[in-house]
Amino acid sequence: MIKMDMKKFFFDRPGVARRIDKARRKRLGRGGGIVRKISRNSMRRLKKPSLPGQPPRVVHGQIKAFTFYAYDQDSDGVVIGPQRLPKGTGGTKAQTVPEAMEYGAKVRVQEVQSQRSGKWRRIVTKQDRQLREHRNTRTRTTKIAPRPFMGPALKKGSDKYPKIFEGMI
């Protein structure tokens, strides 16, 4: 009787597992790219602010430009979203600008009073900050209504996932 190594007739399990992992990571990256593209395309460059419930408008383009995706080895998934941007002026909650847009927030706003009209306007520019020393200023709390852009993008992109993972194995 000839002794044969029967293992050679079976799959190379570690090799197959490596190829499946590589293919899955590649397809997860595609899914992340799709969601990022949908979220970035939902933000329009218009002069008027967006209405509550609609994606935020692009003013300086920071949220749109700093939206990324990456494979996370720890969770074995994809992380998609904007990079942490600085907190708003004296925010009352520990939220960054993208979080305030997505979920809404209460923020403190600094304002300066016009010498001519007596109207209050937000301190935005460097020149406004310099005027603080010579004019009346105040700080008030205002509420920012949610303007979600990542949640709807994930929901819209989720119907494309089956096609992305089709034929992986």
Strands 137-144 and 105-113: antiparallel
The CA distance from 139 to 89, in Å, is: 10
The edge-to-edge listing of strands for the beta sheet with 120-122 is: 120-122, 105-113, 137-144
At residue 121, φ and ψ (nearest 5 deg) are -140, 155
Q: What is the pTM of this model?
A: 0.72
> pLDDT value at position 49?
85
Q: In 43-95, where does DSSP find H-type helix?
A: 62-65
The strand ranges marked E within the chain are: 67-72, 77-82, 105-113, 120-122, 137-144
Q: In 8-116, where does DSSP find H-type helix?
A: 13-42, 62-65, 97-103
Task: Give Dmax over CA atoms of the chain in angstroms.
Answer: 107
> pLDDT value at position 163?
86
> pLDDT value at position 90?
44
The CA distance from 30 to 9, in Å, is: 35
> pLDDT value at position 89?
45
Residues 35-58: pLDDT tens digits? 999 999 999 888 888 999 999 988
